[in-house]
Amino acid sequence: MTSKVKKIRAAALLLALLCCLGGCIQLPKTEPSETAGSGETPKEEVTVGKHHETAVYTYSTEVDEETLKTGLSKEYLLLANKNCVLGEDYVPENLVSLPRAWTTRSMKLERRAAAALSEMVEEMLAAGVSDTYVTSAYRTYAYQQARFDEYRANEMKDITEDAYAVLGYDHIYNKYLVNHRTGLDAQDAERVVLSYSARPGTSEHQTGLCVDFITEGMGGKLDASFENYEAYTWLSQNAYRFGFILRYPKDKTEITGYQYEPWHYRFVGREAATDIYFSGLTLEEYLSATAS
């Protein structure tokens, strides 16, 4: 572990109490790096992970290094969570369409994130993981609103496992079961939905910087079973090389505000992704630790 990572970890511990719960975090004061140049992008050998204690990864990539390295640009460290709201009008710049070969439908992502994603998926395919698709990328505010309303309506029709997990058996028994009610009221339904879906304006998908993966074996349902697939194993070891992080880790739900989502990957640029990967921090903690 490098001193840089140690420093970040130490700072994160000190700043843990000041984390996102108190409001939006100031982004690192760095100038946005220049956008990737055009022209030839020669295949080159790159070695990263030098500060990993047990492994040094050597890999080849054809993606422009300037695409992967964002220089800690604010644009790619944009925070969207329950406390940091993007708002109804936020639309990312430079959205491009993703290749249909490995997406479940037509979808868009921010240009640089899309280039890094393409390279990552191609290398995942080359590693033999061929049952995996991107099932969600950029989402508009209106789309998120529609999804949120749909989820809430579903929670009002039936008492789901998520309802028991969020509200607790006693609450459900006393309020619903003894009264022979088979669905939640709107207020409880919303509480349950907020445990797995973002309120419109707070979804990270509105940044145009993140994607959800799904495998053929999952039957169209995104759930934690994704971690049992080869794709998860590969992504969890390699995504940082392409500037992506696992955004909602299992043991950080109180910090991120979300349940464990092994399928959700966020582009932050390789510098931040590498530090986050090796330090075990969330994006919220990383931004707190590096703010000055």
Q: Which residues are catalytic?
A: 261
C-beta closer to Zn ion: residue 75 or 212: 212
Query: 176 and 159 in contact (C-beta within 8 Å)?
Result: yes
Structure-token pair, residue 169: 């058996």
Say whether residue 264 binds Zn ion (CB under 5 A).
yes
Region of 143-151, 154-162, 181-189, 260-268 interacting with Zn ion (CB under 5 A): 260-268
CA separation, residue 201 to residues 79, 143, 177, 219, 259 (Å): 12, 10, 34, 29, 18
Check binding of 112 to Zn ion (CB under 5 A): no
Instruction: Return the residues of window 210-229 that contact Zn ion according to CB under 5 A.
Output: 212
Shortest spacing between CB 208 and Zn ion, in angstroms: 12
Q: Count CB neighbours of 209 within 10 A.
A: 29
Nearer to Zn ion, 108 or 264 (CB): 264
Q: How far is the CB of 264 from Zn ion (least distance, A)?
A: 4
Question: Residue 138 or residue 277: which is nearer to Zn ion going by CB?
Answer: 138
Sites for Zn ion among residues 158-217 (CB under 5 A): 212
Q: Which residues pair with 58 in a beta bridge?
A: 47
Find the shortest distance in angstroms from Cβ 283 to Zn ion: 13
CB closer to Zn ion, 176 vs 232: 232
Size of the site for Zn ion (CB under 5 A): 2
Q: Which residue is nearest to Zn ion (CB)?
A: 264
Q: Which is nearer to Zn ion, 212 or 284 (CB)?
A: 212
Instruction: Mark the segment that binds Zn ion (CB under 5 A) among 15-23, 45-53, 229-237, 264-272.
Output: 264-272
CA dist 114 and 5 (Å) reads 27
Minimum separation from the CB atom of position 87 to Zn ion (A): 19
User: Minimum CB separation from Zn ion for residue 21, in Å?
Assistant: 21
**Residues binding Zn ion (CB under 5 A):** 212, 264
